[in-house]
Amino acid sequence: MEEIIYVDKPAGMSSFGAVARVRRLLSEREGHKVKVGHTGTLDPFATGLLILLAGKATKKAPELTKKDKVYEAELRLGATSTTGDPEGEVTETGAELPTLEQIEAILPQFTGKIQQRPPIFSAIKINGQRAYKLARKGQEVEMPTREVEIYSLEILDYSAPTLKIRTHVSSGTYIRSLAEDMGKALGCGAYLTALRRTQIADYKLDELPLFALPE
């Protein structure tokens, strides 16, 4: 068999959990174990498009990884999180919240090619170990910056302290880091409360035949 499978991952499920469910269903259907791989993960709290490859289609992984992506994100201003998302320890900063005009004024510094520091709670390897494993042990983790490209960044809605944005980014861009950096630029702090991936390259979530994940 050879299949490309499109999944709308729900919140609370890991990407590997989604892979395992698809593998189980396909293996039951085919009567033998089916190899299933992913072309890029989503954090458990995030939702949206996952592209999975089954059987011989796994050979196409290099064609579908490291592609640009489109996300819709919800930021909470005036607070920070140890993980940059709802799963961390949240601290209120007590800072004055910005106006819409002040937010619009910082957007140019976060478009185009920028230097970004990935979050310490990420799967990036530091000296052969996953950064998040080191961070969970309380070890000091120094993440090197990397160049990423943000093709577009727009405000969808602002009702303080909640800011909703849509952004089109290169592969390797962390939206958690983008949220934190925007919070620093605004002087009030920020973290992600929701994240949805709506597009990978030319694959748009609302135009694809989606694979129904079991409950």
As annotated, the active-site residues are 43
CA distances 108 to 24, 56, 111, 133, 210, Å, are: 46, 43, 5, 34, 35
Instruction: Specify the 3-state DSSP secondary structure of 176.
Output: helix
What is the CA 46 to chain-centroid distance, rounded? 7
Location of structure tokens 């089954």: 54
Residues 92, 93, 94, 99, CA torsion sign? negative
